[in-house]
Structure 1
Amino acid sequence: MKKPPYLLSGIILFGFGIYFLLQYYQLSLFQGFYSWPTLFVIVGIAFLVNGYAGKDYSFIFPGVLLTGIGLHFHITQHLAVTIDISGIFLLLISIGLFLTYVKTGNGLFQGILFLAISLLLLFFDKLKEGLLKNGQSIAWIDQAWPYLFIVFGLYFLFFHKRK
């Protein structure tokens, strides 16, 4: 029987209360954090705490995604850097799958797959530049990404053997 998510609700309400209280008093120390990415981080941390402390490991994956997305947007806003969001999102998925694997023993292959795809997306421009300097072109990969995703997705949906 699943436990009711009181821990999750409590942490979210507590976190939002602190957020709105700090926003109300406009503390200069937290000036750049009164935005929606902070709300993502609060909810993500609540999921992670519920996943680990509440021993409901299905909450780890969404916790990693929400916390990571919030942190990503804070970092890109405050450091004025641009990082490919699709590569970061797939990297967060792989981290979530790895952390879930540590607790449940499921998802290792998918974590490795998403890690490889995320690294390719994050470093594709540098890879393409390096190969172009050597006289090789990998422009076909730009057109092949959607098809590869569809093929892998169909494989996992219909052909991958379940335990």
Structure 2
Amino acid sequence: MKKHGIFSGIVLVGLGIYFLGGQLQLAFLKVFQGWPALLVIFGMALLGQAYYAREYQHIFPGTVLLGFGLHFLLSQLLPIWPKHIGVLFLIISLAFFLSARKTKTGFVQSLLFFILACFMLFSDRFSDFFLLFQTSISSIWRFWPLLLILFGLYILFVKKK
């Protein structure tokens, strides 16, 4: 029974620190008073519950909340932190990967999100390469999201376990 209190305990401690930092008006805690800090708290609580209580279905949402919260905190604190949407896809890829290690499902999704994140993060470096293809297949390139839709429909309706 003790293992089921991990989530509640981490949330209460995290929220206590969050609100105490707001009341004490400490300068170094000021940056942790926004909504990204709440994402970090709940993400850590879900990950604590997942690993300590062996409820591995909480790994994915915990990693997403913790990763998004850290991303938004670091983008406020560090000017060199990338403020690109590809970082969010990279976090989702990491969440799928960590979840797949314990649940044995989601590894393919992890790879797909990783490829998408790399493509989004580094697409400006391949602009000359894309310019070559843009002149010849630009009308086909507009419909690449259709491939994502078709693959998603395949997973939803055709592929059965």
TM-score by length of 2: 0.85
Q: 1:49 Cα shift?
A: 0.6
* Distance (Å, rounded) in 2 between the aligned partners of 1:159 and 1:120: 27
Q: Runs of 5+ in structure 2 lacking a partner?
A: none
Q: 1:140 Cα shift?
A: 5.7
From 132, 139, 150, the equivalent of 1:136 is 132
Q: 1:144 Cα shift?
A: 3.1
Q: Runs of 5+ in structure 1 lacking a partner?
A: none
Q: 1:5 Cα shift?
A: 4.8
Pairing 1:83–2:79 present? no
CA distance 1:142–1:77, shift in 2 (3 Å): farther
Partner of 2:42: 43
> 2:7·2:46 contact (CA, 8 Å) conserved in 1?
yes
Partner of 2:55: 56
What amino acid does structure 2 have at the position aligned with 1:84? H
Pairing 1:154–2:153 present? yes
* Distance (Å, rounded) in 2 between the aligned partners of 1:101 and 1:92: 14
* Distance (Å, rounded) in 2 between the aligned partners of 1:155 and 1:118: 22
Identity %: 41
* Distance (Å, rounded) in 2 between the aligned partners of 1:111 and 1:117: 10
Count the aligned residue pairs: 156
* Distance (Å, rounded) in 2 between the aligned partners of 1:83 and 1:144: 26
* Distance (Å, rounded) in 1 between the aligned partners of 2:59 and 2:140: 32
What amino acid does structure 2 have at the position aligned with 1:131? F
Greater shift, 63-72 or 91-100, is seen at 91-100
